[in-house]
Structures are given as C-alpha cells and as structure tokens.
Amino acid sequence: MDKLSPDFMDDLRRLRVLREFRERGTVTATAEALHLTPSAVSQQLSGLSHDLGFPVTRRSGRRIVLTPRGDALLSHADVVFAHLEHARHDLQTWDEALRGTVTIGAFSTALAGLLPTALESLATEAPELVVKLRQSEPPVLFDQLDAGQVDLAIAVSFDGSPTLGDPRYHRVELGPDVLDVAVPASHPHAADRTIDLRDLASDAWITGSPNSCCATITATACAAAGFTPDVRYQVDDWLAVTQLVAHGHGVALLPRLAQRDLPPTLVLRPVARQQPRRHLFAAIPAGAQGSPLLQKILSHLTH
C-alpha cells in the first residue's frame, strides 16, 4: 500500500486555499478571507500546480481563474474534506455518549428568539453537551465555520451566505421568519387587524443599514405596494428600532424573532396580502451531518 505523502498536510492546506479562491473569485479576496498576503496565496496556488504537474489557475485578461482541471480537482477535494470531517466527528463520538462542546455562530435575533428555547430543551435531554454561542453574521460567520471556530452556523438566506448547493456545507432549512408592521400605539392604523403598506407611504420609516437583509426586504415590500419608503433612521439594533417606533418616530417591519420584550406603546400588525419574510437555515461542514451532537442540536432547532 502506498504511503501518504510527507507533504499531505501541506497539500490539504493548499487545497483549502484553492477552494477558498473558487468561492472568493480573486487572489486578494482569498487572502483577506484566510488572513494571508496575496503573495502567499499566489505561492500556494503555484506550488500546488507545480507539485501536481498541471496548472490549477490561469490568467484571463486581468483576472486569475480556475482551469478546467483545477475545477475538477476541487470536485474531488470537496469529497475528501467531507470524509475528513466525517472521520473527525466519528472519532469524537466513539463512545456514543452525547458529551462534548459545540460552538454555534448566529445572528443576533436568532440568539434572542430561536436559541434560548432550543438550549433549554437540550439541557434536559443532553446534560453533558456543552453549547457555546458566538454572535456573527455572513460572510464572516462562514469564514469561522470553514476555520473550525464555530461548528454550526445559523444565518439568513441573503448576500454573503453560501448558495443552496454549496458543496462545502450540509444545509438544513429552519423555515421563514415573518416580518410584521410595527407602529406606535397612537398611529391612525394601530387598531387595524392588518395593515396595508400603502397606508404607510407618507410615514417616516426605520430600517437596517443600507443593503442589509431587513432593509432590502422593507424596500422590496414597499416597492410592491407602489412606493419608496421615506427612510429617516438606519438602525441595526432591534431594541433601538422598537424604542424609536414606540416613541412615535416612525414605522418599521419587525421580524418575529425580534419581537421580544416590546414597549407597551408599540403595536404589531400583520402585513395585508403578502407578508414579507426572511428565510433561516443552519449549516455545518459537509461530512459532519453524521455527528450525533450536531444531529441532536439540529433536531431541537427544527422542532
């Protein structure tokens, strides 16, 4: 039987660099994601090409792109990394006991609205399982997942999140998070059973920072209702949003995961007709889906 190359671990590192290059598209972006210099990334890619005996990248105009053989190599590398991940989790849970430590990375409203209940039931069923939490959002969240700094990521399907068929991850859909209209109790439409967004066309609006998920959802929903919202406040903290609404400074679309400990002078109403929503999912490294620890956590997140 052939022995593994003494440079096996170096080969894996360089394959990870190549895989990151496939996702990022440029040497500079790859270097930023891996905390390397562009020169170091270029050296890793050229060294891999040299040892393999064929180029894995080529120049196309001013850009560097994958060669067809480089792309084919990565399809095999995805399988290798998935098997390594499976082996790691298999050995960690050799005694079949649900003990160990799992780190979950998630955005703020998932930490507040989704995880407390799941962690409570987990503590009863698997008392020896230690769960750590880290607040993070894409794309940094998936850099942390790739680096092993988190074991499970919870995110919203939006810019910066991996695509549905990304071979690096096993993805589990967690369902929609519906957004309702938040208005001050003194608002003329506060007593309505549902609120037509067209009735809020002249109101001041509170959204997240430009190009954020909820800001984009708000803009899209208002456009479908036939107007552009007058955005006066761009705030990413949901506590601040609810306080601004409660004090009569504007209206907002508020995700149900963020509807906790609301001020008494804030009123929530469903959006008439089509309700805006964002879609949540959990992701773990491909190959890790056989882990009893991760399976247990995912089962509590989906029920």
The pLDDT of residue 99 is 79
The pLDDT of residue 6 is 46
The pLDDT of residue 1 is 29
Answer whether 27's CB lies under 8 Å from 57's CB: no
Nearest to 286 by CA among 116, 182, 172: 172
Structure tokens at 135: 């607040």
The pLDDT of residue 3 is 36
The pLDDT of residue 75 is 84
DSSP states along 222-250: HHHTT---EEEEE---HHHHHHHHHTTS-
| Separation CA 205–CA 218 (nearest Å) | 9
The pLDDT of residue 303 is 78
List phi, psi (to 5°) of 222: -70, -40
Run of H or E residues at 173: strand 169-184
Count each helix (H run) and each strand (E run) in the chain, helices first. Answer: 10, 11
The pLDDT of residue 143 is 87
The pLDDT of residue 4 is 37
| Separation CA 109–CA 257 (nearest Å) | 6
Where the chain has pLDDT below 70, the residues are 1-10, 86-97
How are beta strands 266-269 and 204-207 bridged, if at all?
unpaired
SS3 state at 4 = coil
The pLDDT of residue 91 is 59
Per-residue model confidence as pLDDT tens digits over 238-263: 999 999 999 999 999 999 999 999 99
Per-residue model confidence as pLDDT tens digits over 51-90: 888 889 998 888 888 999 988 888 888 887 777 776 666 6
The pLDDT of residue 74 is 85
The pLDDT of residue 100 is 85
The pLDDT of residue 96 is 61
